[in-house]
Structures are given as structure tokens and as C-alpha cells.
A and B are shown apart, each in its own frame.
Chain A
């Protein structure tokens, strides 16, 4: 679906995406990384369980919510990758709220 053009000047960091370690240029958002890594859906909806993916890439549609470093409901398009970051596809409202609701 997507590919990332090589950028030799950018420093690379290791990110763990759904238990797989991937090398990503710094300055990439989590949403851009997920798409470039071939992830089609980045979450399922709390209402019907439908699959969703980043839509606006500018922080206003809230469709790219993912679990980032254990925190659910993070906008993947407004979060930039860091060394050692753990990113997971989110199911529904995510693990924390899921236990309560």
C-alpha cells in the first residue's frame, strides 16, 4: 500500500510494532511508520469492531488511535517515533478502559 523513500541523512531508531522490531527514521510519526510497514488497520472501533486506519494524518479525525508505550487511545499521527517505543494495534476502547467498562 505504502513505501518510505530512503533518507540516508535521518537517524534510525528501533520501534516495536505489534511485537516486531522495525527500524524507522527519526521524524516519522507512528501512523506513517505503521502504514509504511504495511499495517492496513491500526485499530478496531468500540461501537461495531470495524477496522480503521489513519484518515486525516493531522490529528483531527481520531481514527488512528493506537496503544503507544502501554497507553491506549494515542493519536498515532500526532506521536513521533522514539528509540524503544512499543506500538500496538488497539482493539475497541483499549485495554485499560476495557477492564472497567
Chain B
């Protein structure tokens, strides 16, 4: 690993891989850093090693990753897998952990392609063993062929839930129930956005095909479910919910939930990039212009880490932002950048057609986000409940960061990744203000686990 690169790409998902391929043949020194052992990110996890039959089951969209990974393998960039980025600052110094040694490297242009995480939504019992995120189920399937053995209950809202149910059905996993918490009122809110979504009818058609297949297979789907609760002492025993005014209970040892995805912003936050609340996507994302430039010169964002638009869009965004980086490096003229990126921008716009509809249709209701029961754990690490957070607000701690200092909420091992959004919603609701007026937990390095010994290895290099 060199001490300096002209272009440094952080993240090996669709945005990062596409950016690397674009930049590679332009004669700039370029490196890509990624935590995984192989390219693909979470969406194309294990794409190079997945057995063919499993890849078929996972579908054509997943298999698209094979071409992308192959193109990346052929291109001339320094690729560092199993490498953690634990720091980034406005001087564009990057703290890297590679082969158990720390190193600080610099770059003229840095593309953060950090992707998305699942939106963590607290509900009673969500910390019990046996409760997982749907994305976790999909990663287990993609990367290891590990699937539920005694059936699974799927609950929440969003396209991934449907996709996972369909994929599980292909390999004979018993789906005990699909509990859709999307409120019926979302239909009305989403209707005005439907005409535009029809331009991307292939996505809608696919969703309808999945629904039809699941129905034919006899999978029970309950819509407009509320009061989701996981029950058990040391492990999950049952899932309880409310439907059409009645309480229901399903015995199960496995529940997978999904409430949409949000950008993974810990690195751009720690760097000090400006972030904004995206009302439609119900999350924070780094502010950026149409070329991916953040508020810090030379730090760019692309893909779901910049705002949720999906894997296809991330690929186009990766190429477009790489062209911008090449322009900033003086390798491409403005005219060349504009010309070469025109098609990418067009594709991004057409991928965007479906989004306003999806965002409105699958919007998570305020009752789920902002008013969890007082005994529900919100901060999984420090085991801080919603009631404790509201008490802090009542004690005039009116901001997420103040609540953090008072309660240790968000100070655990995950650094607030699992509670930041929920805390912001609860704090805003308890204080009678919109969540957009509230701040996100402050991000600080190291944003990835680093032992003192690994940090001290910086000194050895001097």
C-alpha cells in the first residue's frame, strides 16, 4: 500500500467497483479498500464463490454482480481486501488497518461508497436471540447457504421482506407468516407517485409476481399489522401482533424483521461532512451536489451511502462520481466529464422513478419510529430504554447528543449505529419538534474496531 493515491475508493459494493473500473484505465494511481475478503459489498456478497445453483435461486439481479466483480478483477487498481478504514478527516488522511497494522494514507480525491445498513427499529423483544434483520437472513443465505430449518416469521415493511420470502420459498423454507406493518393509509400517500413509478414497471411487476407466488404457495400474509412483539426468556419463543383489532401469537424460534435501509454514514460523519435529514427516506444522508461532492473538498460519495437508490443506481453513480474525480484531478476536461457521464446520469434518473412511490408506500409510521413502549430497549449495547430517553428529554436534555452524555445511550460497541435514528425520532417526538430539527449522534474516529496495539503500530512505521 502506497502512502498516497490520487484516487482512493472506500467500499467494494456496486458503487465502489464501478468507480474503480472507470478510473482504472485513465492512468491515475487508484486504490480500493474494503472490509470483505472479496468484491461485491453486501448486495453482491460472495458473488465470486457462490455455487451456481444458489446464485440461480437468488435471482438475476444478484447475478449481475458477477459481471461487475469480473470487470473489477481485470482493471488496474490496487485492491486491498480485509482492510478496515477507521478514520477519515478533512485533510483527506485515511486511517487504515491492513494485515493487523495501522497506516495513515492520503489521497487527492476520496470516494466514500459505504453503502447502506438496515434501519434498526426497536420493538419489545428485538434483542432476543432468534430475532434478526432480514438482511442478515439474506447474507447468511448468500454467503454460507445457511437458511432457517424450522420455519421463520417475517415482519416489517419494504421490498426486501418480499424478496427474502420468495428466495426462502425457492429452497423450501417454511414461512410461518408474513406480517406487514405498512399502514393502509400509506396507499393514499403513495398513489400520487404511482404514475411516475409506472415508468419503472418492471420493479412493480416483479413485486406482484413475488406476491402471487407466495400466495399460491399458501404463505399467510397479514397486512396492516401493529404492536409487533417478540416473546421469550433467553431466546425467542413467540411473535405477538395485533391485526384487525385482535391479538395474535405465533410460536417460532426465528423472526426476521425489515424496516427499510438507511445510508451508512459513520465515516462521512466522522470526517465532518455536512449531513441532512431526508424526510422522504426517513434518514440522514451526506449533503452532496449532483457530482457527488460533499461539503469537504475532495471527499465524494456515491451509491446508497449517499442516499438510498438501490444497487443499479449505485453502479451508475459510481461511474459518474469517478468521472468527477478524474475531472478534479485534471485528467478529464469538463467537457469530457459531462459527455462521458451523460448516460450514467440518465440511467440514475430512470432508476429513481420508482423511489418516491416506494418511499411513500413503505414509509414507516411515526407510531413505530417515535413512540416505542417505555420498557423497550432502544440502545442495544448499553441497554437504555425508550422511557429513559424520554426522562432525559423531560430533564431538559433536548438533543440526541445530550441524551447520549446523560444516559450512555449510543456509547456502546456499535457507536450508536443501531440506535441513532430511533433516538432522534424519540427525542424529537418527546420534545414536540420535527426530527429534521434534531442532530445526529456526533461521529468520531475510530469508526471501526481497533486495538491499542494495532494503533501503536503507526509508530513503528515512522
| Interface residues in chain A, defined as those with a beta carbon under 8 Å from any beta carbon in chain B | 1-7, 9, 25, 27-29, 32-33, 35-36, 40-42, 45, 47-48, 50-63, 65, 73, 75, 77-78, 80
Kindly state the separation between the CA atoms of A62 and B380 in the bound complex, as whole angstroms.
9
Cβ < 8 Å to A, chain B residues 118-157:
118, 120, 127-133, 135-137, 139-140, 143-150
A29 cross-chain contacts in B, Cβ below 8 A: 143-144
Kindly state the separation between the CA atoms of A42 and B127 in the bound complex, as whole angstroms.
13
Contact-size category for B: 35 or more
Of the candidates A9, A36, A55, the one whose C-beta lies within 8 Å of that of B132 is A55
Chain A residue, CB-CB nearest to B264: A60
Chain B residue, CB-CB nearest to A5: B145
Kindly state the separation between the CA atoms of A56 and B256 in the bound complex, as whole angstroms.
10
A57 cross-chain contacts in B, Cβ below 8 A: 132-133, 135-137, 139-140
Chain B residue, CB-CB nearest to A81: B144
**CB <8 Å contact, B417 and A2:** no
**CB <8 Å contact, B130 and A73:** no
A41 cross-chain contacts in B, Cβ below 8 A: 129, 234-235
Kindly state the separation between the CA atoms of A25 and B54 in the bound complex, as whole angstroms.
15
| Interface residues in chain B, defined as those with a beta carbon under 8 Å from any beta carbon in chain A | 35, 37, 42, 46, 49, 51, 54, 117-118, 120, 127-133, 135-137, 139-140, 143-150, 171, 234-235, 253-254, 264, 380-383, 412-414, 417-418, 449
Shortest CB–CB separation between residue A36 and chain B, in angstroms? 5
A6 cross-chain contacts in B, Cβ below 8 A: 145
Of the candidates B117, B129, B131, B146, the one whose C-beta lies within 8 Å of that of A4 is B146
Shortest CB–CB separation between residue A95 and chain B, in angstroms? 15
**CB <8 Å contact, B418 and A60:** yes
Chain B residue, CB-CB nearest to A59: B35
Kindly state the separation between the CA atoms of A47 and B413 in the bound complex, as whole angstroms.
12
Kindly state the separation between the CA atoms of A5 and B46 in the bound complex, as whole angstroms.
15
A4 cross-chain contacts in B, Cβ below 8 A: 144-146
Q: List 7 A-B contacts (CB under 8 A).
A: A3-B148, A3-B149, A7-B51, A53-B132, A56-B418, A62-B417, A73-B449
B133 cross-chain contacts in A, Cβ below 8 A: 55-57
Chain A residue, CB-CB nearest to B448: A59
B46 cross-chain contacts in A, Cβ below 8 A: 27
Kindly state the separation between the CA atoms of A32 and B137 in the bound complex, as whole angstroms.
10
Of the candidates B51, B147, B171, the one whose C-beta lies within 8 Å of that of A2 is B147
Of the candidates B54, B129, B149, B413, the one whose C-beta lies within 8 Å of that of A40 is B129
**CB <8 Å contact, A28 and B127:** no
B414 cross-chain contacts in A, Cβ below 8 A: 60-63
Kindly state the separation between the CA atoms of A7 and B146 in the bound complex, as whole angstroms.
11
Kindly state the separation between the CA atoms of A4 and B135 in the bound complex, as whole angstroms.
17
Of the candidates A3, A27, A50, A58, the one whose C-beta lies within 8 Å of that of B136 is A58
A48 cross-chain contacts in B, Cβ below 8 A: 383
Shortest CB–CB separation between residue B377 and chain A, in angstroms? 9
Shortest CB–CB separation between residue A89 and chain B, in angstroms? 11
Given known pairs A3-B146, A4-B144, A41-B234, the reply for A58 and B135 (CB within 8 Å) is: yes
Kindly state the separation between the CA atoms of A25 and B147 in the bound complex, as whole angstroms.
15
B449 cross-chain contacts in A, Cβ below 8 A: 73, 75
**CB <8 Å contact, B131 and A55:** yes
Given known pairs A45-B383, A80-B37, the reply for A56 and B136 (CB within 8 Å) is: yes
**From B127, B171, B235, residue with most partner A Cβ within 10 Å:** B127
B120 cross-chain contacts in A, Cβ below 8 A: 61
Kindly state the separation between the CA atoms of A75 and B414 in the bound complex, as whole angstroms.
11
Of the candidates A1, A28, A60, the one whose C-beta lies within 8 Å of that of B417 is A60
A78 cross-chain contacts in B, Cβ below 8 A: 35
A9 cross-chain contacts in B, Cβ below 8 A: 51
**CB <8 Å contact, B130 and A53:** yes
Shortest CB–CB separation between residue A10 and chain B, in angstroms? 8
Shortest CB–CB separation between residue B183 and chain A, in angstroms? 25
Given known pairs A59-B35, A62-B414, the reply for A54 and B136 (CB within 8 Å) is: yes
A54 cross-chain contacts in B, Cβ below 8 A: 132, 136
Given known pairs A7-B51, A53-B130, A58-B139, the reply for A1 and B413 (CB within 8 Å) is: no
**From B132, B140, B234, B418, residue with most partner A Cβ within 10 Å:** B140
**CB <8 Å contact, B35 and A2:** no
